Amino acid sequence: MTNKYIYSIVLPILIKDFYPQSRIINPSFSAYFSSPAHPGYAVKRLKEKAIYMKIPSIVEMLQAGVHFGHQVSRWHPKMEEYIFTERNGVHVIDLEKTKVKLEETLEAVRAMAAEGKEILFITTKPQAREIVREAAISCESPYLVERWMGGLLTNFDELKKLFKKYNGLKEQQANGELEKYTKQEQSKITKDLEKMEKTLAGLSYLEKMPEALFVPSVQREKTAVDEANKTGVPIIGICDTNANPEKAEYVIPANDDAVNAIKLMVGLVAEAIKEGKEEFKKKEPVKKAPVMMKKTVRPEKSDRRGLDWN
């Protein structure tokens, strides 16, 4: 399927309920891409740039439901610039702007990972927990998919002691060292481990405070967002029409409820981190093995032939 077919035939059909007819009349290929007012212009501009990760097309985002916002009565005024229109009492997100912001955000994420920065994935939404967990594991990033741990950013050094304790107990359990305790003590330790597993499984090997947070729903994670704003930790956030985009340094205006939309956006961020980490590995200096010098053995007097060994 050619780009000409997608943007002249398929796209107008898919978005005819969301874009005024004046914007899709006479969708000739050259004219359609020539003006920034048309959805195809953003895609053309993206293709002209040397970008690493695959940015989804407007059609793909429409199919994932990225454009659906919240009810008009629940909107946040500061999201106005990212809202295209209102349909049946529901706001529709401007996917042209989503595409541009997505490109900027993914490039920033890749650059952070390329510098060796740690990005923490956070969500407490039931439908997003497994998606976020799998994405974080795939790009070897820390994650938190249960309730937010108060002080994770403002009091990281203290919580790091808890991580150390958890790792120590897990190691003892794996090595069978818990058998030295009484049955009552073993039962208590096992229960403590199960309780800590829910919250600390994705944080246990976090050796330093994360340099950025990826929040798939800025409106939902208010406590984490406030703590990050206080400590100056940048936020990479998905903002629905009811969120305040000023809370995040890198904004992706998109639906934060639909499973397909969450999968699409979270997967793109994970891919950007993977690419950044690959760059970081290439930058790391290769440790050369020390060269062992052979000790010179002085020959016996009888073997010193024509050389000055004095």
Closest CA to 75 of 97, 90, 96: 90
Name the β-bridge partners of 253: 239
pLDDT at 173: 83
pLDDT at 40: 46
pTM of this structure: 0.74
* Cα–Cα distances in angstroms (integers) from residue 99 to residues 1, 66, 198, 289, in the given order: 21, 11, 35, 47
Domain ranges within the chain, ordered by starting residue: 1-50, 94-153+209-281, 156-200
Q: From first to last of its 310 residues, what are the pLDDT tens digits of the chain?
A: 444 434 444 444 444 444 443 333 333 333 433 444 444 444 444 343 334 468 999 999 999 999 999 999 999 999 999 999 999 999 999 999 999 999 999 999 999 999 999 999 999 999 999 999 999 999 999 999 988 988 899 999 888 888 888 888 888 888 888 888 888 888 888 888 888 888 888 998 888 899 999 999 999 999 999 999 999 999 999 999 999 999 999 999 999 999 999 999 999 999 999 999 999 988 866 555 555 555 555 555 555 555 554 5
pLDDT at 182: 85
DSSP labels, 243-289: S-GGG-SEEEES-SS-HHHHHHHHHHHHHHHHHHHHHHHHHSPPPPP
CATH class of the structural domain 94-153+209-281: alpha beta
Around Cβ 167, how many Cβ atoms within 10 Å? 13
